[in-house]
Amino acid sequence: MKRIIITVLLGLFAVAFYAQSVLAEPGYATVLQDNNKKKVDKKTATVTFKTTIHCKNCVKKVNDNIAFEKGVKDLKISLDEKLVTITYDPSKTDEATLTKALEKLGYKAEKAEPQK
């Protein structure tokens, strides 16, 4: 039984050592950096809606539902200003769809003017 445990542990250490040496290769780090750049460079759009949210439960309801809409990347809600700012992927959704999603939750939503 001890031999099996020792063999398994040695195998795990060998795999960990191999993985570390592969990750340390210069070419591999470049590939990882290129992949990260692709994720950052994705085109996104941001829209801000003036809504009828009025309490923390409204904020939770909007956050729990809109955050999982297709294409939504980021969601910021300001209860004081009654604003919902959504960053999304325009190839997967659009402003009209997001407006309908907010209205489906029971809130009026109209596009707010960008703040300067």
My answer on whether 53 and 102 are in the same domain is yes
My answer on whether 15 and 72 are in the same domain is no
DSSP string, 40-84: HHS--EEEEEEE---SHHHHHHHHHHHTTSTTEEEEEEETTTTEE
What domain range includes position 47?
Answer: 43-111
My answer on whether 32 and 47 are in the same domain is no
Q: Which residue type occupies 7?
A: T
My answer on whether 49 and 66 are in the same domain is yes
Q: Which residue type occupies 95?
A: E
User: pLDDT digit string (tens) for 69-108?
Assistant: 999 999 999 989 999 999 999 999 999 999 999 999 999 9
| 69 part of a folded domain | yes
Six-digit token string for 83? 């604003």
My answer on whether 48 and 105 are in the same domain is yes
My answer on whether 18 and 58 are in the same domain is no
User: pLDDT digit string (tens) for 6-56?
Assistant: 898 887 777 766 666 555 545 444 444 445 454 544 688 999 999 999 899
